[in-house]
Amino acid sequence: MKLRQFAFIAGLLTAAVVSGSPPSAPTDRPHRAIPAGEVLDLTGLRNVEFGDTEDELTRRGILRTDVQGCGWTLAGHTAISPVFVDDRLVLIWLGDSTRTTEGVGVGSPLRQVRARYPQLTPLHAPQGTYRLNGLLARDGDRAYLFLHDGRTVRKVIAGYADWAERLFAEGHGPC
């Protein structure tokens, strides 16, 4: 079961890097628009916390499992992609309008990331791949992973640090 779930995570990384945005799927249900500048911290989003179960989020009407495609969506957060392992929320791909509590998001210059997170761990994509390099801002067992092109942030992933590092290291595979 863990291999299937990690393959899903790896597929998300590959899809996001190739497509330029986190995966999402169309739906016929209306969604609440995400307010500009919504903030994600290392506990999660409003009404969604790391460690929440799929069942809990589904029961509360937050997790959308009735969509087509490769994964789940969060009601009202169609540009934000949750990642579950063993039924627990372990990572969230931030949407383009979402920011960290320190104001960093997609499009932020790397100098801003380095100023806001002085204790960054650089992560280097394998040579010959289309993957992005990363900067990991770890705080205890949680972290932000900033995927970048050398100048600006292209993707932001937040959640459990070990899963963020594993996602980066093994970030390819079937959906």
The 10s digit of each residue's pLDDT in 45-67 is 888 999 999 999 999 989 876 65
From the number of C-beta atoms within 10 Å of its C-beta (0-12, 13-18, 19+), residue 63 rates as buried
Check whether 135 has a pLDDT greater than 60: yes
pLDDT band at 175 (very low <50, low <70, confident <90, very high): very low
Domain segments of the chain as ranges: 2-169
In the sheet that holds 153-160, the strands lie side by side as 81-85, 88-93, 153-160, 142-148, 133-139, 120-123
pLDDT band at 80 (very low <50, low <70, confident <90, very high): confident
Q: 59: Cβ–Cβ under 8 A, 6 or more apart, which residues? A: none
pLDDT for 86: 92
pTM for this prediction: 0.77
Check whether 18 has a pLDDT greater than 70: no
CA distance 43 to 51: 9
pLDDT for 127: 85
Q: What is the mean pLDDT of residues 136-145?
A: 97
Higher pLDDT, 78 or 143: 143
- Lowest-confidence region among 32-36, 66-70, 105-109: 32-36
Q: Which residues pair with 92 in a beta bridge?
A: 82, 158
- Residue 133 amino acid letter: N
